[in-house]
Structure 1
């Protein structure tokens, strides 16, 4: 007997899930600016505030899409798979978003050096994925290496004589979680990218030999 064909791909949203996302965005646009809903009844300037809120939402959703693509690439997904989710060809997806997949400031090729005068040693871990990076960073941290930059499928590490801890935090609204980690000695690496932010913390223990 032939198994029933699923109504949607397991990588796509259901109609209800897609509607919920759209509703959440619309609610954020209308509900976040103070008094906007009520002001739309009588204040012409409220419509300019609505445009401003919608622009902010559009900019943020565009950033989230690019960061989500970075995350999917870091999880090992191909441009072909991403194109299917985006509803475009592999080539179109890669041409539009490949520049976004290099999150790091200079990229991995320019990041590694052997410790020029006045500069600590650096190396690049690549390829690493969202599923193995933390275990690898735990090992490298004990050997005195810590993340100073990262991008899709790579981390740039810098050497020191101390052990380091690494942690990644799933995006949460507001800065409460970040402030809590910083109060415990954790330092954010670069800027938080969706869906992960990466943190490092130096320990008092001497680095283990490689």
Structure 2
């Protein structure tokens, strides 16, 4: 088993194969070009760099999710195969500077709902939505909501459901936070 005995060797191999396949398949014609075109190898480097950056982002967001779910730095470090201190130094989220979306001087009122966890944030958003507040930003342990004269629905969905949700009238909020994306719509 790998990852602190949380996934097996076969599962780890499937993840590695999926990532390698995605890197080779995303740039059109890349795999075929490697047989006859030296430039294809530079395209492969570029595609692998994007894959590595995305994997790094997913790891950071997965760690933030584990922390928001109440897991200690000891537990996170154990899964990563490093000490608590090493995990915390590398992955701790720095205290937020001024909010990314400060309250507009002439716009609707904004509130920060904190602290929230992966287990409490949807209930907090449901309550806020019934009161006419909708999600405009979020971060570790916090939600930023804005006042409106409508009631709102909020939804958290796994990555990859965007197309279906947008056809149902949901609007995505923010860039996402692996493995989740956040959506909102005016309640019917």
Q: What is the TM-score with the length of structure 2 in the denominator?
A: 0.86
Residues 58-207 of structure 1: matches in 2 within 5 Å? 58-99=52-93, 106=99, 118-172=106-160, 177-203=161-187
CA deviations over 1:129-169 (Å, ceiling 9, x no partner): 21222122112211111111111121112222221111111
Offset, 1:199 = 0.9
| Distance change >3 Å, CA 30–CA 183, structure 1 → 2 | closer
Q: What is the TM-score with the length of structure 1 in the denominator?
A: 0.77
Q: Distance in 1 between matches of 2:66 and 2:5?
A: 11
Q: Distance in 1 between matches of 2:148 and 2:77?
A: 41
Offset, 1:88 = 1.4
Q: Distance in 2 between matches of 1:67 and 1:126?
A: 18
Structure 1 stretches of at least 4 aligned residues deviating more than 4 Å after TM superposition: 7-11
Gaps of 5+ in 2: none
| Distance change >3 Å, CA 32–CA 190, structure 1 → 2 | closer
Match of 2:13 among 19, 31, 35: 19
SS class of match (2:86): helix
Quote the residue 1:3 is aligned against. none
Q: Distance in 1 between matches of 2:61 and 2:175?
A: 12
Q: Distance in 2 between matches of 1:117 and 1:50?
A: 48
CA root-mean-square deviation? 2.7
CA deviations over 1:163-204 (Å, ceiling 9, x no partner): 1111111001xxxx4244334332211112211111111236
Offset, 1:8 = 6.9
Greater Rg, structure 1 or structure 2? 1
Q: Distance in 2 between matches of 1:181 and 1:61?
A: 25
Gaps of 5+ in 1: 1-6, 205-210
